[in-house]
């Protein structure tokens, strides 16, 4: 049975775990999530003095990473439809000048052709429609701009894949529930959603379907996570 990704379930789940979200990300990945975001920002290449948007931003870590890269005059926005997560992002903001807005990735409150880069980290698999989310990200991206996805994937090595799946199915859900009590079984949802989510060439094919070109992906840490990058055509094709 497909995992439940209804908006009400996802919103409630992340509201319940928001207070421990950052800690659990760092703890369960043993700090590797810092490296993954660093690589994602580097793979985006040089960025100009134009707006940047991070959707499904959670507590804002990728938005902050891009804030540190782009010129100070370039506006950086983060959107999420879970108010509790945005509250934490705003608390972390301090002088880093990121504007956080409560919004659904399937219906972003921005004009078309606005952002030089639209990114998402570990959030696209939570969107009710993967292609729909990618299309909306592409819509608000400027012609010639980039759409970047950082997401979990499955390791290419059979041995590493076996260990990874065993940990995800047997250890992570119990550990997660022990450390972060919640009614939506968030850390059972995590491995289920990852196992169902397309990765590698399957995801770049969906990016192509969403209207992006020059799509490519870069496996990280043996394929445990991957960065996907596509470009919005400079002119209508």
Torsion, Cα 99 100 106 112, to 10 degrees, reads: -10
How many structural domains compose the chain? 1
- Tokens, residue 216: 């490519």
In a domain, 237, yes or no: no
In a domain, 143, yes or no: yes
Q: Give percent helix, percent strand, percent coil of the chain, each to the nearest 5.
A: 45, 20, 35
In a domain, 137, yes or no: yes
What pLDDT, in 10s, does the model give residues 14-25? 777 777 767 777
Identify the CATH number of the domain in which residue 146 sits. Answer: 3.40.50.150
Q: What is the pTM of this model?
A: 0.91
In a domain, 180, yes or no: yes
In a domain, 163, yes or no: yes
What pLDDT, in 10s, does the model give residues 62-74? 999 999 999 999 9
In a domain, 124, yes or no: yes
Higher pLDDT, 24 or 200: 200
**Domain interval for residue 120:** 7-231
């Amino acid at each position: 049975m497909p995992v439940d990704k209804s908006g009400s379930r996802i919103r409630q789940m992340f509201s319940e775990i928001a207070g421990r979200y950052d800690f659990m990300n760092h703890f369960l990945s043993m700090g590797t999530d810092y490296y993954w975001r660093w690589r994602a920002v580097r793979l985006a290449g040089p960025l100009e003095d134009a707006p940047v948007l991070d959707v499904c931003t959670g507590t804002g870590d990728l938005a902050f990473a891009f804030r540190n890269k782009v010129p100070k005059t370039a506006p950086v926005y983060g959107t999420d439809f879970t108010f509790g997560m945005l509250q934490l992002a705003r608390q972390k903001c301090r002088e880093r000048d990121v504007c956080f807005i409560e919004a659904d990735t399937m219906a972003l409150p921005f004009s078309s052709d606005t952002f030089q880069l639209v990114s998402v980290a570990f959030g696209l698999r939570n969107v009710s429609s993967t292609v729909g989310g990618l299309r909306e990200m592409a819509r608000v991206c400027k012609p010639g701009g980039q759409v970047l996805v950082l997401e979990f994937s499955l390791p290419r090595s059979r041995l590493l894949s076996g260990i990874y799946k065993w940990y995800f199915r047997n250890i992570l859900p119990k550990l997660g529930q022990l450390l972060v009590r919640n009614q939506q079984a968030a850390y059972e949802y995590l491995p289920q959603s990852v196992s169902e989510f397309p990765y590698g060439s399957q995801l770049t094919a969906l990016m192509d379907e969403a209207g992006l070109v020059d799509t490519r992906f870069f496996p990280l840490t043996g394929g445990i996570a991957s960065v996907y990058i596509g470009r919005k055509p400079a002119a209508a094709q």
